[in-house]
C-alpha cells in the first residue's frame, strides 16, 4: 500500500471514518455491539441513525426497553460493570457480606446501543444528532453505550441529576465522545432555560494533562457543536474567565498558547473574557488564569468560578497524580457551584486515585453543606479487564542486553527486510510499516536518539524530514507543527517522551516502540494504546529491554500476557478472566511463555515507586554529586555509537549529499510521492 496514503488517513482531511462496521470495537471483549447497532441476541429493530437524526420532530421513546435480565446479559457480553460507589462503601464483616454488598451495588441502566436512540430515548437536540450522524460512526462503543444513558437526562426524567462518574475504559475506545455528547446536550438544554441571558459564560471545564491533547478535544468538540449554539475553545494566555477575574499571565513560562492572541497586551482591563460555553485546558493554564501569582509550594486560593456546572477530567489518573495534583485540585475547588457534576475518564484509574477522587467529592459536598438527599449518585463504570492492553494490539518484547543493542534493534525495525514480526499465534511474518512512535525515558535521550537516527533515512525516502523529535522543551509552535506533520503523514518516525503517551489520537500509528521501558504498568498500557485505536487491527508494540531492565519487566510481561490471552479468547468468542495476573499465569500459546513470568523477579514497592518517580537509574541525567561509578554507568548508557566529532562529520557529509540532491530539483518529498514503503535501506 502507498505509505503516504496510509499515513494521510490519520489526518481526518479526507473522507469520514468508514460507515462499515468496525472490525472490532475497542472493548476488551472484542465483540461489536451488533451489525445494525443493537445487541444481536436481543433481536430488536430500529431505524437507521441518519434517518432518526434528520428527523426534526421530537421522536417518541419507543417502548422496546430491555428487561433487567437483558441488560445484565448485555453488560456481561461487553464486559461492562457499573457500580454505585455509595452502596459499595462501608465495612463488611465477612467475605460473604462483602460479596453481597458488591452484588447489591451493581446497577443495570439501559445501554444506548445505537446513536439513533439518543434522539428516540433521550430527546437529544436534532443538530447535535445530525453532527453525530455526520461522523458516520457505525454504532456506540462500549464505553459510550454504558455512559450515555447515565449522563444524559432522559426526556421523561427532566429533574433527575446526572451522577458523578468515574469511567475506566480501554485506550482508543471513544471516551472523548462519551463525555462530549452528554456535555453538549446539557449545555443546549441550559441555553434553552436561560434565553433571557444574552452574555455567554463558561459553564463547563474539561481538563487534560498535555498541550497536545487540548486542541484534539477542542477539534472533536467543534465537529459536534456545529449549529447547536454551543461553543468550545481552548484556554489562551491573557484571557480571563469571568468579569472581575484577573487575566492569566502572558509571561507564564510553560503553558498553552494554541491560537494566536490578538488582544491588547498592555491593559489588563481590556483583556477579553472567554466567551465559550465549554473551556478545555491543561490544569496549569487554568490555575494561572484563576490566580496569576499561583505557586506550587504556596498556592493562593484561586478566584471562584461559580458558573461551572460540569467538570471533566480526561486522563484523570494523571491529573490527580502528585505531578499535577495541586493544580487540578485548585481548579476543582474554584468550581463552587453546589450542583457541579464531575466525571473522570481514563484507561487506568488505580484504587489510590479512586480513593482520592471519592474523598475529594465527599469533602466538597460537606464543605458546601450539600444535604445527603441532594447529593448526586457516585458511579464507577469499568469496561474490560484491569491493566490489559487492547486485543487489537500485538506485543513484542525484545531483549537487547545493552544500550547499544537497542540502537541496533531500532535500526533493524526501520528495515523491513530484516525486521519481521511474528505475532505468536500465526505463522505469518509481517514487515513493520511506519508510522512509528518511539518512546524514551527522558528529553535528553529522545533528542540523542533523534540525532543518531536523523540521517538513517535516505534522501530518496524523504531524508531527515521524515523523522522528528517532540518533547516539552520545544517551543509551542514547534510542538504543534510536528503534531500536524505527523498526523498528515509527512513525518514517519516520531521520537518522544511520555508527553505523547496519553490521550493523543493518531489513528494511523502502526508501531509503538518502547525504546526505553515505561516506568509503570499504566505507562505501558497507555503508550501501547497509541496504536490499535478505534478497533483498528495490526498495531504492534515493540519494547526493548536490557540487562538492567530485567528487574522491572514483570509488570509489562503480565500486561502482555493478559492482553494476548484476551486476544485469543475474543477470537474464540470466549468471555473469561477477572484480572491480569490471574490470566497471565495460564498463557501458553502466545509470545510470552509462562516460564518467563516465573523467572522474572518481583519488584519491591519501593523500587516501583523509585522507578515511577525517576526512571531507570542509568538513563537519568548525570548530577554533580553522583559518585564516579554512577557517572560512568550513566555515560555508558547514553544513546550513540559514535563520538560527537564522528557524528558531526557523518551528518555533515549526509547533509551535503541531501542538499545537492535537492538543488538538482529532486526534493525528498517529490522523490517519495507515490512510493511504496520499503524501509529506509
Ligand atoms: P480514548 O479517549 O478512549 O482513548 P478517543 O476518544 O480518542 O479514545 O477515540 C479514539 C478514536 O475512536 C477517535 O479517532 C474517534 O474518532 C474514534 N471513535 C469514537 N467513537 C467511535 C465510534 N462509536 N465508532 C468508531 N470510532 C469511534
Ligand atoms: Mg482520551
Look at residues 348, 364, 383 and tell me which one is the last residue of a structural domain: 383
Neighbours of 659 (CB within 10 A): 11
Residue 654 lies in a domain: no
Phi/psi-derived region of residue 36, left when phi > 0, alpha when psi is between -120 and 50, beta in every other case: alpha
Q: How far is Cα 189 from Cα 155, in angstroms, rounded to an integer?
A: 11
Query: How far does the centroid of ligand 1 lie from the alpha carbon of residue 507, in Å?
Result: 9
DSSP string, 109-142: PPP--STHHHHHTT---HHHHHHHHHTT--S--H
Q: Which long-range contacts (CB under 8 A, 24 or more apart) does 224-229 make?
A: 224/128, 224/131, 224/132, 224/177, 224/180, 224/181, 224/184, 225/131, 225/184, 226/127, 226/131, 227/127, 227/130, 227/131, 228/125, 228/127, 228/128, 228/131, 228/184, 228/188, 229/188, 229/191
Query: Are residues 496 and 371 part of one domain?
Result: no
> What pLDDT is stored for residue 591 in this prediction?
56
Residue from 584, 562, 594, 593 nearest 384 by CA: 562
Q: Regarding predicted confidence, which is higher, 29 or 609?
A: 609
The closest ligand to the CA of 112 turns out to be 1
Query: Are residues 460 and 327 part of one domain?
Result: no
> What pLDDT is stored for residue 288 in this prediction?
87
The residues facing 279 across adjacent strands are: 205, 233
Atom 2 of ligand 1, nearest CA residue: 175
Q: Residues 395, 528: contact at Cβ < 8 Å?
A: yes
DSSP structure class, residue 24 = S
Query: Are residues 441 and 333 part of one domain?
Result: no
Residue 248 lies in a domain: yes
Task: Please state the φ and ψ torsions of residue 232, each to the nearest 5 degrees.
Answer: -135, 140
Residue 23 lies in a domain: no
Query: Edge-to-edge strand order for the sheet containing 393-401?
Result: 393-401, 539-546, 511-514, 436-439, 493-496, 467-470
Which atom in ligand 1 lies closest to the alpha carbon of residue 505?
Answer: 7
> What pLDDT is stored for residue 69 in this prediction?
93
Q: How far is Cα 471 from Cα 446, in angstroms, rounded to an integer?
A: 8
Q: Regarding predicted confidence, which is higher, 41 or 455?
A: 455
For 82, the 3-state DSSP assignment is strand
Q: How far is Cα 601 from Cα 469, in angstroms, rounded to an integer?
A: 34
Residue 210 confidence (pLDDT) above 50: yes
Over range 563-590, report the average pLDDT.
51
Query: Are residues 472 and 354 part of one domain?
Result: no
Distances (CA, A) of 355 to 351, 417, 503: 6, 50, 23
Query: How far does the centroid of ligand 2 lie from the alpha carbon of residue 576, in Å?
Result: 26
Residue from 353, 348, 386, 380 nearest 83 by CA: 380
Query: How far does the centroid of ligand 1 lie from the alpha carbon of residue 177, in Å?
Result: 7
Residue tagged 441529576 (cell numbers) = 161
Residue from 671, 553, 556 nearest 616 by CA: 553
> What pLDDT is stored for residue 250 in this prediction?
47
Query: Are residues 326 and 404 part of one domain?
Result: no
Q: How far is Cα 481 from Cα 487, in angstroms, rounded to an integer?
A: 10
Residue 642 confidence (pLDDT) above 70: no
Q: How far is Cα 27 from Cα 30, in angstroms, rounded to an integer?
A: 5
Which atom in ligand 1 lies closest to the alpha carbon of residue 139?
Answer: 23
Q: Residues 513, 523: contact at Cβ < 8 Å?
A: no
Q: Regarding predicted confidence, which is higher, 313 or 285?
A: 313
Query: Are residues 325 and 437 part of one domain?
Result: no
Residue 127 lies in a domain: yes
pTM across the whole model: 0.81
Q: Any idea which of 62-71, 81-90, 193-202, 340-349 has the lowest mean pLDDT?
A: 193-202
- Residues having CB within 6 Å of any atom of ligand 1: 17, 22, 137-138, 140-141, 144, 169, 171-177, 505, 507, 533-534
Number of structural domains in the chain: 2
Over range 550-558, report the average pLDDT.
87
Range of the domain at 330: 68-256+270-383
Residue tagged 458546601 (cell numbers) = 368
Q: What's the first-to-final CA gap in the chain, in angstroms?
A: 18
Predicted confidence band at 51 (pLDDT cuts at 50, 70, 90)? very low
Over range 30-34, report the average pLDDT.
41
CATH of the domain at 562: 3.40.50.300
Over range 292-300, report the average pLDDT.
72
Over range 443-459, report the average pLDDT.
90
Residue from 606, 625, 435 nearest 536 by CA: 435
Neighbours of 674 (CB within 10 A): 10
Which atom in ligand 1 lies closest to the alpha carbon of residue 140?
Answer: 23
Predicted confidence band at 45 (pLDDT cuts at 50, 70, 90)? very low
Query: Are residues 602 and 453 part of one domain?
Result: yes
Please, what sign has the CA dihedral across residues 32, 34, 37, 43? negative
Residue 100 lies in a domain: yes
Q: Regarding predicted confidence, which is higher, 222 or 100?
A: 222
Which residues, 6 or more positions from 322, have their beta carbon under 8 angstroms from its beta carbon? none
Look at residues 355, 383, 411 and tell me which one is the last residue of a structural domain: 383
Cell of 230: 454551543
DSSP string, 240-271: BSSTTSPPPPTT-SS----S---S-SS-GGGS
> What pLDDT is stored for residue 2 in this prediction?
34
Query: How far does the centroid of ligand 2 lie from the alpha carbon of residue 80, in Å?
Result: 18
> What pLDDT is stored for residue 24 in this prediction?
46
Query: How far does the centroid of ligand 1 lie from the alpha carbon of residue 83, in Å?
Result: 24
DSSP structure class, residue 64 = -
Which atom in ligand 1 lies closest to the alpha carbon of residue 144?
Answer: 23
Look at residues 383, 411, 438 and tell me which one is the last residue of a structural domain: 383
Residue 38 confidence (pLDDT) above 80: no
Query: Are residues 506 and 471 part of one domain?
Result: yes
DSSP structure class, residue 273 = B
- The C-alpha torsion from 389 through 390 and 394 to 400, rounded to 10°, is -20
Query: Are residues 473 and 369 part of one domain?
Result: no
Cell of 229: 449554539
The closest ligand to the CA of 147 turns out to be 1
Residue 277 lies in a domain: yes
Phi/psi-derived region of residue 72, left when phi > 0, alpha when psi is between -120 and 50, beta in every other case: alpha
Q: How far is Cα 259 from Cα 218, in angstroms, rounded to an integer?
A: 12
Query: Are residues 302 and 179 part of one domain?
Result: yes
Residue from 368, 357, 292, 358 nearest 335 by CA: 368
Atom 26 of ligand 1, nearest CA residue: 534
Q: Residues 398, 546: contact at Cβ < 8 Å?
A: no
Query: Are residues 399 and 352 part of one domain?
Result: no
Q: Regarding predicted confidence, which is higher, 631 or 10?
A: 631
Query: How far does the centroid of ligand 2 lie from the alpha carbon of residue 177, in Å?
Result: 9
Query: Edge-to-edge strand order for the sheet containing 80-84?
Result: 80-84, 378-383, 164-168, 341-346, 310-314, 204-207, 278-281, 232-234
The residues facing 676 across adjacent strands are: 2
Q: In a mutational test of the pocket of ligand 1, which residue from 137, 174, 216 has the highest number of ligand atoms less than 8 Å from its CB?
A: 174
Give me the percent of the chain exceeding a pLDDT of 70: 71
Q: Regarding predicted confidence, which is higher, 647 or 182?
A: 182
pLDDT in tens, 218-270: 999 999 999 999 999 999 877 878 776 665 554 444 433 322 233 344 455 55
Residue 648 lies in a domain: no
Predicted confidence band at 414 (pLDDT cuts at 50, 70, 90)? confident
Query: How far does the centroid of ligand 1 lie from the alpha carbon of residue 137, in Å?
Result: 9
Q: Any idea which of 101-110, 558-567, 593-602 has the lowest mean pLDDT?
A: 593-602
Residue 677 lies in a domain: no
Q: Which long-range contacts (CB under 8 A, 24 or more apart) does 296-302 make?
A: 296/326, 296/327, 299/326, 299/330, 301/330, 301/333, 302/330, 302/331, 302/333, 302/334
pLDDT in tens, 585-616: 333 334 556 666 677 777 788 888 888 888 88
Which atom in ligand 1 lies closest to the alpha carbon of residue 504?
Answer: 7
Query: Are residues 369 and 433 part of one domain?
Result: no
Amino acid at each position: 500500500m502507498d505509505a503516504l496514503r496510509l499515513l494521510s488517513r490519520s489526518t481526518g482531511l479526507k473522507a469520514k471514518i468508514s460507515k462499515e462496521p468496525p472490525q472490532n470495537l475497542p472493548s476488551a471483549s472484542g465483540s461489536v455491539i451488533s451489525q445494525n447497532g443493537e445487541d444481536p441476541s436481543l433481536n430488536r429493530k430500529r431505524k437507521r441513525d441518519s434517518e432518526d437524526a434528520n428527523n426534526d420532530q421530537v421522536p417518541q421513546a419507543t417502548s422496546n426497553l430491555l428487561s433487567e435480565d437483558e441488560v445484565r446479559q448485555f453488560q456481561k457480553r461487553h464486559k461492562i460493570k457499573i457500580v454505585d460507589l455509595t452502596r459499595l462503601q462501608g465495612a463488611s464483616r465477612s467475605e460473604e457480606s462483602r460479596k453481597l454488598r458488591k452484588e447489591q451495588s451493581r446497577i443495570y441502566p439501559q445501554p444506548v446501543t445505537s446513536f439513533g436512540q439518543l434522539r428516540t430515548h433521550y430527546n437529544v437536540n436534532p443538530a447535535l444528532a445530525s453532527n453525530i450522524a455526520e461522523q458516520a460512526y457505525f454504532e456506540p462503543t462500549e464505553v459510550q453505550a454504558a455512559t450515555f444513558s447515565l449522563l444524559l437526562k432522559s426526556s421523561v426524567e427532566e429533574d433527575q441529576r446526572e451522577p458523578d462518574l468515574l469511567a475506566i475504559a480501554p485506550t482508543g475506545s471513544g471516551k472523548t465522545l462519551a463525555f462530549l455528547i452528554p456535555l453538549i446536550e446539557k449545555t443546549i438544554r441550559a441555553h434553552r432555560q436561560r434565553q433571557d441571558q444574552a452574555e455567554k459564560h463558561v459553564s463547563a471545564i474539561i481538563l487534560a494533562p498535555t498541550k497536545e491533547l487540548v486542541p484534539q478535544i477542542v477539534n472533536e468538540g467543534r465537529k459536534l457543536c456545529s449549529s447547536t449554539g454551543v461553543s468550545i475553545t481552548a484556554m489562551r494566555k491573557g484571557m480571563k474567565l469571568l468579569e472581575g477575574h484577573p487575566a492569566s499571565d502572558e509571561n507564564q513560562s510553560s503553558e498553552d498558547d494554541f491560537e494566536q492572541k490578538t488582544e491588547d497586551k498592555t491593559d489588563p482591563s481590556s483583556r477579553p473574557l472567554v466567551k465559550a460555553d465549554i473551556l478545555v485546558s491543561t490544569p496549569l493554564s487554568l490555575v494561572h488564569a484563576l490566580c496569576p501569582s499561583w505557586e506550587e509550594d504556596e498556592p493562593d486560593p484561586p478566584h471562584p468560578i461559580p458558573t461551572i456546572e460540569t467538570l471533566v477530567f480526561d486522563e484523570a489518573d494523571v491529573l490527580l497524580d502528585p505531578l499535577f495534583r495541586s493544580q487540578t485540585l485548585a481548579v476543582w475547588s474554584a468550581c463552587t457551584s453546589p450542583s457541579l457534576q464531575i466525571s473522570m475518564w481514563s484507561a487506568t484509574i488505580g484504587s489510590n486515585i479512586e480513593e482520592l477522587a471519592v474523598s475529594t467529592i465527599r469533602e466538597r459536598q460537606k464543605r458546601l453543606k450539600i444535604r445527603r438527599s441532594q447529593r448526586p449518585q457516585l458511579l464507577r463504570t469499568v469496561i474490560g479487564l484491569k491493566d490489559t492492553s487492547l486485543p487489537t494490539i500485538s506485543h513484542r518484547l525484545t531483549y537487547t542486553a545493552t544500550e547499544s543493542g537497542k540502537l541496533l534493534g531500532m535500526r533493524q525495525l526501520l528495515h523491513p527486510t530484516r525486521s519481521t514480526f511474528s505475532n505468536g499465534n500465526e505463522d505469518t511474518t509481517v514487515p513493520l510499516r511506519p508510522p512509528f512512535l518511539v518512546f524514551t525515558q527522558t528529553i535528553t535521550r529522545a533528542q540523542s536518539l533523534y540525532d543518531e537516527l536523523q540521517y538513517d533515512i535516505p534522501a530518496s525516502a524523504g531524508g531527515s524530514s521524515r523523522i522528528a523529535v517532540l518533547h516539552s522543551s520545544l517551543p509551542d509552535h514547534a510542538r504543534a507543527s510536528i503534531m500536524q506533520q505527523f498526523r498528515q503523514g509527512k513525518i514517519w518516525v516520531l521520537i518522544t517522551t511520555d508527553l505523547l503517551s496519553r490521550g493523543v489520537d493518531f489513528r494511523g500509528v502502526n508501531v509503538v516502540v518502547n525504546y526505553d521501558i515505561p516506568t509503570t504498568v499504566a505507562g505501558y498500557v497507555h503508550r501501547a494504546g497509541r496504536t490499535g485505536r478505534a478497533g483498528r487491527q495490526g498495531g504492534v508494540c515493540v519494547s526493548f529491554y536490557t540487562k538492567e531492565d530485567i528487574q522491572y519487566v514483570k509488570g509489562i510481561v503480565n500486561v502482555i500476557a493478559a492482553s494476548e490471552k484476551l486476544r485469543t479468547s475474543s477470537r474464540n468468542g470466549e468471555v473469561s478472566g477477572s484480572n491480569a495476573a490471574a490470566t497471565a499465569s495460564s498463557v501458553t500459546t502466545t509470545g510470552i511463555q509462562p516460564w518467563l513470568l516465573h523467572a522474572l523477579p518481583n519488584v519491591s514497592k519501593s523500587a516501583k515507586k523509585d522507578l515511577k518517580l525517576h526512571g531507570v537509574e542509568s538513563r537519568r541525567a548525570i548530577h554533580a554529586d553522583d559518585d564516579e561509578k554512577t557517572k560512568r554507568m550513566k555515560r555508558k548508557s547514553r544513546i550513540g555509537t559514535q563520538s560527537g566529532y564522528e557524528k558531526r562529520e557523518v551528518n555533515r557529509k549526509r547533509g551535503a549529499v541531501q542538499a545537492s540532491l535537492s538543488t538538482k530539483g529532486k526534493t525528498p518529498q517529490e522523490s517519495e510521492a507515490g512510493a511504496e514503503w520499503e524501509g529506509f535501506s
